[in-house]
Amino acid sequence: MKKMLLPVLCLLFLAACAGTTKEIDLSTDTAENADFSSADLARITDGMMSSIQANGFFQQYLAEHAGQKPVMLLAKELKNDTDEHIKTRLILEKIRTRMINEGTAQFVDDQAFDTALEQLNLQASDLYDNAKAAKIGKFVGAKYVLRGTISNIRKRSGREDINYMNVTMDIFEVETLLIKWTNEVEFKRVSTKGAMR
Amino acid sequence: MDERGRVQTRLHEGRHEVIGAWGRTTRPVGASFHEIGGCVRKAFLATIMLLTVACATYTSRMELSRDLYYGGRYGDALANLDKLVKDAAERDYYLFLLERGKVSLAAGAYDSAIVDLQKAERRFLEIEATVSVADLFKNMLVNPSMGEYQPEPHEKIMISSYLLLAYWLKGDREGAFVERNRLVERLKQYTGQLSDQDRAALDVPFAHYLAAVLYEIEGREDDARIEYDVLEKIAPDVVPSPLDAKLDELIVFTEVGRAPVKVSTEIRGYLQKDGASLVGFFNLPGSAGPQMFMLPGFGDLRIDKPGVLFTFAFPQCVRERRVVERCKLVVDGVEAGEMKPLDNLENTAYAAYEKGLPLTLLKAAFRTYLKTVVQTKLGDTDDAKGIAFDVLGKVLASVDRADTRSWQTLPSEIRVFRMECGPGERKVSVRYLDAKGNVVGMSGSVHVSSGRGTKTIVFLI
């Protein structure tokens, strides 16, 4: 029995040292430090979407255009004025996904232009059945653009890192440059490192 | 470098002399056990001391890469640094990444430079203002180079400066603006609280200049003006006046000389009680051989048996000899003008070294005391435990050396040239001259294409 004890203890020790992988529920995701995190992404999307839903512009547009949704375009990216390399396109795309899925607006794919053009050219050639080919001249122009800026003010001192972050987004009308909707989500976090490492 | 080499040789000679001094022990050891123990200890000590002579410091490990880099052989320097990074202990790993990142930047491998510099920066931020108990023990018991490297503030600012350049030169404007924001934050963190006098010595004008230029490019003239106002106090000659963000300009930076390196200066010696006197031999760096002293009236001092081995090690900052004294910008084969001194990083590194020196010396003295105590207090019994402590104390004293780590691929100086130029293609290079005006070298030449209303940044080494 005693002979078995040491190997068993060794195995238990090794098992305890083994790496683990666990899935994190995004709804309960929290930030790890003062930097931008995936939890902030959800917070920003939720904040912007509730503001869009509360804003009367989209309901008014539907009423004025016989239920037709406004055609929108994403700005190339959210202007990043922070001190972090953030994939800001992700924020825009997340909001676009929610707006399409919730039936708020239609979007023109700003990144599909080259691929679509190539396909149209190919289908217009003799390689394709012209009767069934996609027609040229059907692209829909966007009437509104969704854009924004993400900025931060950080103060780092010793082990303390204080980060204020602000995301401001708006939708402007291409024809008039009038801003039809705007909102901001802001938060401030303090992260303190342990004195020992 | 020769000067450094000579210092090290002398130190090596010194260590051998100390071993010689060990052989002159006059106090006989009574019992046979102790005689055997003493012989073993002598042999063991001699071995350890020889081993420590063979142990390479950071400066000596970097020497080849440094020479290759400053010789413009970036490929060879990178190959050598790859090996150093691969074999690096964790405590030096991130410093080697800095060195490799800098060489990659010079070689035009911007993505690799970004990966290395960012990885190092992340780690340095993680460990900033924290203490590792294990490192603390290793630093005190062995030597201060056993702990993880923590860069000087000017080195941290230079990481962000080079990251900004890497992003800009690879064509990632947004990335460069983010790095500019980080750089401004670093400057605020590390130099914002400095007195005017300290700021003149420790600030990094190159970083302020880069941040200002990027603000200008982004059309944020007010922010650019803030940075230029800081520069006005520390490097007034380079501040452009009047400021015009819309002006088409060519802005060329070049690096001159080598950053100062640190060498370990070690005072090693041996003390022994001889009757009522204290007899000792010690080796001073630069002296021809070991010095002997005899101090009467130390009869109460408990230094018995084979005596006490002591080492007092501290770093010395050695300025590198610089050949290049002037730089001239050449545009399309025509001399455009003399580049202005922007940042003397050699002076900054030296000022940072001098600022930290009192604490470094205090720590060195504490280490010396600690290792002496192990030999005199813990190792003063004649049993096996006493011998073990005695030997341990001597081993720890013999492996003591200063921390010579620093970012060694930094330049001695950065110069800048700024000229108005219309859009078009140009071939740009820098001509390096010595104090007498003789051309001693040329940078590589780059073709730049500038558009209307832009500022074109060129970084030439």
Distance from CA of B190 to the nearest CA of A (A): 9
B419 Cβ contact list (under 8 Å, min separation 6) = B249, B250, B329, B331, B336, B337
Structural domains in chain B, sorted by start: 2-54+261-317+354-398 (no CATH), 246-259+319-344+412-461 (2.60.40.10)
In chain A the first and final C-alpha atoms are separated, in Å, by 40
Position A55 pLDDT exceeds 70: yes
pLDDT at B325: 93
Residue B204 token pair:
């990094």
Distance from CA of A164 to the nearest CA of B (A): 13
Cβ within 8 Å, pair B174-A193 = no
> Mean pLDDT over all residues of chain B?
84
In percent, the amount of chain B with pLDDT more than 70 equals 85
Q: Pick from A36, A78, A81, A85 the residue to mutate for testing the B interface (most B CBs within 10 Å).
A: A85
Cβ within 8 Å, pair A82-B178 = yes
pLDDT band at residue B380 under the 50/70/90 scheme:
low
Nearest to B310 by CA among B271, B339, B351: B271
pLDDT band at residue B273 under the 50/70/90 scheme:
confident
Overall average pLDDT of the B414-422 stretch:
92
Position B28 pLDDT exceeds 50: no
What is the DSSP track for B76-98? HHHHHHHHHHHH--HHHHHHHHH
Residue B407 token pair:
């970012």
Q: Assess B174–A contact: CB distance below 8 Å, yes or no.
A: yes
Which stretch of DSSP H or E encloses residue B107? helix B90-107
Residue B433 token pair:
């001259």
ipTM above 0.90, yes or no: no
Distance from CA of B422 to the nearest CA of A (A): 29
Cβ within 8 Å, pair A156-B175 = no
> What are the angstrom distances between the C-alpha of B419 and each of B250, B297, B330?
5, 73, 12
In three-state secondary structure terms, A27 is helix
Contacts of residue A32 in chain B, CB cutoff 8 Å? none
Q: Minimal Cα distance from A153: which residue of B?
A: B185
pLDDT band at residue B16 under the 50/70/90 scheme:
very low
Residue A67 token pair:
């239920």
Q: Minimal Cα distance from A191: which residue of B?
A: B126
Q: Minimal Cα distance from B179: which residue of A?
A: A83
Least confident span in A38-52, B247-261, B387-401, B415-429: B387-401
Cα separation, A169 vs A146, in Å, equals 7
Position B403 pLDDT exceeds 50: yes
Out of A81, A158, A196, whose CB is closest to B133?
A: A196
Contacts of residue A157 in chain B, CB cutoff 8 Å? 189
Confidence (pTM): 0.84
Cβ within 8 Å, pair B129-A158 = yes
Nearest to B190 by CA among B180, B202, B200: B202
Residues of B (126-145) whose Cβ lies below 8 Å from A:
126-133
Q: Which residue has the tokens 């080494």?
A: B461
DSSP alpha helix (H) spans, B192-250: 196-202, 205-218, 221-234
DSSP alpha helix (H) spans, A55-107: 57-64, 88-101
Cα separation, B282 vs B368, in Å, equals 14
Q: Are B400 and B425 in contact (CB under 8 A)?
A: no
Out of A77, A83, A159, whose CB is closest to B182?
A: A83
Out of A82, A83, A197, whose CB is closest to B130?
A: A197
Position B298 pLDDT exceeds 70: no
Contacts of residue A82 in chain B, CB cutoff 8 Å? 178, 181
pLDDT at B244: 79
Does domain A35-110+143-192 bear CATH number 3.40.50?
A: yes
Contacts of residue A191 in chain B, CB cutoff 8 Å? none
pLDDT at B329: 96
Q: Are B78 and B94 in contact (CB under 8 A)?
A: no
Strands (E), B229-325: 249-256, 261-274, 277-283, 291-296, 308-318
A64: exposed, middle or buried (C-beta count within 10 Å: 0-12, 13-18, 19+)?
exposed
Position B20 pLDDT exceeds 50: no
CA dihedral B425, B431, B437, B440 (to 10 degrees): -160
Nearest to B105 by CA among B26, B168, B19: B168
Q: Pick from A83, A84, A164 the residue to mutate for testing the B interface (most B CBs within 10 Å).
A: A83
Find residue B263's DSSP bridge partners: B316
pLDDT at B186: 94
